């Protein structure tokens, strides 16, 4: 299976995702200093990293079409995360981003990726993860045939702690599991209202923010 065929089935480029990520990037900006060096893992279409305000931005993905989607101020790095972050040559970052990524690896590989992120962060640097929460998304979790690991709002923070991180923020219900079913309209005002509301219909994604002490 090629990365291109996976994107064609599960990650078709849509205007709705671009709208969603504009709002999410603004919402999460409080975790990313404006002068940060930022790294996104599994960046795909680069909706997140392209919109982050940072002095340096790097996007990593195994997908060979990555460079077609990076912004002019984003450096694309095509690499297999399971093989490590050696292509970054020891570079340090102030924030690392990952959305819907860690569940695609076997548990031991996921642990190595978390450890690699820790090694590439500056002290005080943050790892921001948006991730399916199996506790609330179990009915649909394995509809994606590439899911290999199960995480909840308890197990993922504990994985972070086991690899040296302090966990600053855990939001078990953050966003809907998927936008593909069209149950929720993708409109900026409604997304902002959803993020601000304590009531989260269809929520299956969690938010975890960990920090390197």
Structural domain boundaries in the chain = 3-211
> What is the rounded distance in angstroms from the CA atom of residue 133 to the CA atom of residue 213?
25
Give one DSSP letter per residue of 30-45, joined into a string.
GGS-TT-EEEEES-TT
**pTM (predicted TM-score):** 0.91
pLDDT tens, residue order, the chain (213 aa): 444 554 444 555 566 888 999 999 999 999 998 899 999 999 999 999 999 999 999 999 999 999 999 999 999 999 999 999 999 999 999 999 999 999 999 999 999 999 999 999 999 999 999 999 999 999 999 999 999 999 999 999 999 999 999 999 999 999 998 866 555 668 899 999 999 999 999 999 999 999 999
Quick one: 3-211 is in which CATH superfamily? Vaccinia Virus protein VP39 (3.40.50.150)
3-state secondary structure of 203: strand
């Amino acid at each position: 299976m090629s990365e291109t065929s996976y994107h064609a089935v599960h990650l078709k480029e849509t205007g709705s995702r671009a709208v969603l990520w504009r709002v999410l990037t603004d919402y999460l900006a409080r975790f990313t200093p404006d002068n940060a060096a930022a790294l996104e893992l599994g960046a795909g279409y680069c909706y997140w990293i392209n919109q982050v305000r940072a002095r340096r931005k790097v996007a990593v993905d195994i997908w060979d079409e990555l460079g077609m989607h990076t912004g002019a101020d984003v450096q694309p790095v095509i690499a297999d995360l399971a093989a490590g972050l050696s292509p970054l040559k020891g570079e340090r970052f102030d924030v690392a981003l990952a959305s819907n990524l860690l569940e695609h690896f076997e548990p031991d590989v996921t642990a190595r990726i978390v450890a690699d992120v820790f090694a590439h962060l500056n002290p005080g640097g943050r790892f921001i993860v948006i991730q399916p929460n199996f506790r609330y998304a179990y009915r649909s979790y394995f509809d994606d045939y590439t899911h290999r690991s199960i995480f909840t709002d308890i197990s993922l923070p504990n994985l972070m702690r086991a690899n040296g991180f302090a966990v600053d923020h855990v939001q078990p219900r953050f966003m809907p599991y998927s936008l593909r079913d069209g149950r929720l309209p993708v409109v900026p005002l409604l997304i902002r209202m959803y993020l601000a509301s304590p009531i989260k219909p269809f929520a299956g994604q969690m938010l975890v923010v960990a920090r390197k002490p």
